[in-house]
Amino acid sequence: MFKNQSSEALTEEAVKAALSTVIEPELHRDLVSLNMARDIKITGNDVEFTIMLTTPACPLKSTMENDSKAALAKIPGMGNVTVKFGSSVPTDNRISSQVGQQFRNTIAISSGKGGVGKSTISVNLAISLAQEGARVGLLDADILGPNIPMMMGIDQMPPPRNRKMVPAERFGVKFISMAFLVKPDQALIWRGPMLHSAIQQLLTDVEWGELDYLVIDLPPGTGDAQLTLAQVLPLSGAVVITQPMQVAAADALRGLKLFEKLDVPIIGVIENMSGEFFGTGAGEKLATDYDTPYLGTVPLQPQVRIGGDNGEPIVVSHPDSEAAQAIKQVTKEVAARVSVLTIASQDSGGFIPINMVG
Ligand SMILES: Nc1ncnc2c1ncn2[C@@H]1O[C@H](COP(=O)(O)OP(=O)(O)OP(=O)(O)O)[C@@H](O)[C@H]1O
Ligand SMILES: [Mg+2]
């Protein structure tokens, strides 16, 4: 039988050498040393391999695909290149040791003041992460003014199992809220310690299962709830939402400072409700002034509010709208930044290649 022994035969070593020149844009290291280039298959002159991402919602998939193809094209006689994607979300190890839940990452959605769109962004971001293939939970930590069930279109949770609460589930997102436990017309006047135990219960007495991301919708302000949350749950990071007018940025800045004080990393700033009505620009300016990432701009669009009121969030009801597209892009920026923060927190104890945390 004829065997091609030519010195030009494509080897895995040659492929790896080429891919070791491709830099992961967020982690600033090459695909091979990060162990992100996996399952290399060579058939004749064709190559197929998988890029193992740190989040299924990676904003840089196409950059890495194109860079890989360009690097491989430099090998003489290279045939077709097929790039596949997989993901293994890094784990913030502090979480499971403190709360006994299998959450890989926790993302707090906050703002200095009320009504800027925390709950709206939380819901749509959680759904977008799930749409990308992540396992997602959503905790309504607004104990006194819970809005998540209405926005998700479900007003009760399933019966408990093994003495634990079972989260409601829709659009691929598991969620829990104090609204499931109190009547809508019941006024809650709670003080610090009760708030503390309520948030604690929604975290620990719930059968969440394994999650890549727990998204936490916070109440407005910089008070008890924020403090409690940071005490009971290690936060991978906090997103700060601001409205577009400059007067709003002062409130958002207070939110940033609070999390800094609590040693919670800032994921970045989102500007919501941008457009003719409220203007634009405060978010980006705040991010620049505070030297923190700007995650993106979500426009003011009536369908966003309608989606919230009807329990059909905009990324589901109008996925092609400008606002939904903006939220999907913001979601990817958040996911990428969380990967960087979580890997950096692991880094303090020596770099952990992503295959070891999968
Ligand atoms: N981009 C947007 N375009 C149009 N309406 C929006 C947008 N974002 C949020 N809204 C609407 O603004 C209102 C306030 O939003 P939301 O409840 O999410 O804010 P919040 O910050 O969670 O408020 P609170 O501080 O009371 O918890 C809601 O009716 C919501 O549907
Ligand atoms: Mg809210």
Give, using CA atoms, the residue closest to atom 25 of ligand 1: 114
Q: Is 201 exposed, middle or buried (0-12, 13-18, 19+ CB in 10 A)?
A: middle
Q: Looking at the structure, do residues 316 and 236 belong to the same domain, yes or no? A: yes
- 229 and 122 both lie in a single domain: yes
User: What tokens appear for 228 in the block?
Assistant: 């409690």
Say if residue 77 is in the same domain as residue 105.
no
| Smallest CA separation from ligand 1 atom 14, residue | 115
Q: Identify whether residues 82 and 98 lie together within a single domain.
A: no
CA of 273 to the centre of ligand 1 (A): 9
CA nearest ligand 1 atom 15, residue: 117
For 349, phi then psi, to 5°, come to -100, 25
Q: Whose CA is nearest to atom 8 of ligand 1?
A: 117
Q: Which residue has the higher pLDDT, 136 or 252?
A: 136
pLDDT tens, 80-89?
Answer: 999 999 999 9
Ligand sitting nearest the alpha carbon of 251: 1
Residue 192 burial (CB count, 10 A): 12
> Across residues 282-286, what is the average pLDDT?
94
- The amino acid sitting at 50 is T
Over residues 275-291, the mean pLDDT reads 93
Burial category of 235 from C-beta neighbours within 10 Å (exposed 0-12, middle 13-18, buried 19 and up): buried
Domain assignment present for 259? yes
Beta carbons of 85 and 61 less than 8 angstroms apart: yes
Instruction: Report the residue among 116, 118, 120, 123 best suited for mutation to probe ligand 1: largest number of ligand atoms under 8 A from its CB.
Output: 120
Closest ligand 1 atom number to CA of residue 306: 31
Probe target for ligand 1 pocket from 305, 312, 317, with the most ligand atoms within 8 Å of CB: 305
Q: Which of 209, 89, 217, 94 is nearest to 149 (CA)?
A: 217
Residue 83 structural domain: 12-87
Task: Tell me the CA–centroid distance for residue 2 and ligand 2, in Å.
Answer: 70
Give the count of domains, the chain.
2
Average pLDDT over residues 63-80: 96
Cα of 309 to ligand 2 centre, how many Å?
13
- Residues with Cβ within 6 A of ligand 1? 111, 114-120, 142, 145, 147, 219-220, 272-273, 298, 300-301, 304-305, 308, 323
Kindly state whether residue 317 falls inside one of the protein's structural domains: yes
Per-residue pLDDT tens over the stretch 199-224: 999 999 999 999 999 999 999 987 88
pLDDT tens figures, 312-357 = 999 999 999 999 999 999 999 999 999 999 988 876 543 444 443 3
Tell whether 254 and 300 lie within a shared domain.
Answer: yes
Where does a domain end: 87, 113, 147? 87
pLDDT at 2: 44
Answer yes or no: is 337 within a domain: yes
Question: What is the model's pTM?
Answer: 0.91
Ligand 1 centroid, distance to 228 Cα (angstroms)? 23
| Dist CA 190 CA 224 (whole Å) | 11
Residue 157 included in any domain: no
Asked if residue 24 and residue 118 are part of one domain, the reply reads no
Give the pLDDT confidence score for residue 225 in this predicted structure: 83
